[in-house]
């Protein structure tokens, strides 16, 4: 299995990642655990989840269920050190958690603790922001997202504040690296500039929509990834 580094970190992951987006609505705990074990046998060491999973549908009752299924695997004797575990902090004011509060320096510590508890682990290898607070072009949202309503100064201030809170988690040993999801090239470059300006973990990775039917990453996002070492 080919291995790749996450951005400029020293974390190496398999070229293929085991996704878990529907664990808990479309399969059982036993089926999910069988997938984990099969992936390990194939040389995969990278597992991605999120606090809002499972989807299809997203509901208040199922928030965190997928993380809990993974945590049960660790509880039952699964080796934590064999996996690079990635999870995500919900964004865009998702109404099912924290009364719809957007991602901020005030929400990060609480959200990290919730994921750690459900995952039954002391640390998260890659902690990602699931959606930018200001909105996104990903997953058909490009028809609705209008950036003219945002204040760029407020966006940058939020980034500075969040990076400070993330650095506190790095110092505490609860997260190893920071990544983004469903971001734009402009937004990613602002995060990179904020890290250079005030410290805090540098964006290591980007998880955006990409398929044979959606190849938008091949344009400006790809250029950003190559020039800025964002995997």
Residue 217 appears among annotated catalytic residues: no
Measured distance CA(218)–CA(30) in Å, rounded:
37
Residue whose token pair is 């609505």: 25
The residue written with tokens 């194939």 in the block is 42
Catalytic annotation, pick one of 53, 127, 137, 145 = 53
Q: Which residues contact 71 (CB under 8 A, 6 or more apart)?
A: 117, 118, 119, 120, 121
Alpha-helical segments (H) within the chain: 29-41, 65-75, 108-119, 152-172, 185-198, 220-228
Identify any residues that bridge with 5 across adjacent strands, giving them in sequence order.
Answer: 12
Only one residue has tokens 């200001």, namely 134
Do residues 54 and 65 lie in contact, with contact meaning Cβ atoms separated by under 8 Å? yes
Q: What angle do CA 20, 23, 25 make, to 5 degrees?
A: 145
Degrees to nearest 5, angle at CA 202 with 197 and 206 = 130
Dihedral sign, Cα of residue 135, residue 137, residue 140, residue 143 = positive
Which residues are tagged catalytic?
53
């Amino acid at each position: 299995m080919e291995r790749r580094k996450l951005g400029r970190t020293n974390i190496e992951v398999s070229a293929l990642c085991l996704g878990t987006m529907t664990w808990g609505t479309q399969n059982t705990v036993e089926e999910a655990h069988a997938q984990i074990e099969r992936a390990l046998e194939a040389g995969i060491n990278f597992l991605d989840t999120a606090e809002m999973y499972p989807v299809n549908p997203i509901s208040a009752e199922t928030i965190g269920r997928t993380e809990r299924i993974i945590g049960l695997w660790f509880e039952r004797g699964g080796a934590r050190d064999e996996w690079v575990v990635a999870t995500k902090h919900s964004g865009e004011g998702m109404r099912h958690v924290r009364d719809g509060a957007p991602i901020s320096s005030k929400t990060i510590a609480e959200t990290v603790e919730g994921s750690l508890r459900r995952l039954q682990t002391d640390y998260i290898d890659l902690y990602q922001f699931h959606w930018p607070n200001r909105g996104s072009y990903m997953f058909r949202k490009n028809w609705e997202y209008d950036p003219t309503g945002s204040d760029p100064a407020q966006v940058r201030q939020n980034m500075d504040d969040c990076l400070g809170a993330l650095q506190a988690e790095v110092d505490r040993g609860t997260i190893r690296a920071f990544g983004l999801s469903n971001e734009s090239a402009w937004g990613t470059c602002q995060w990179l500039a904020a890290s250079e300006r005030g410290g805090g973990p540098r964006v290591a990775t980007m998880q955006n929509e990409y398929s044979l039917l959606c190849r938008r990453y091949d344009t400006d996002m790809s250029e950003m990834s190559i020039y800025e070492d964002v995997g």
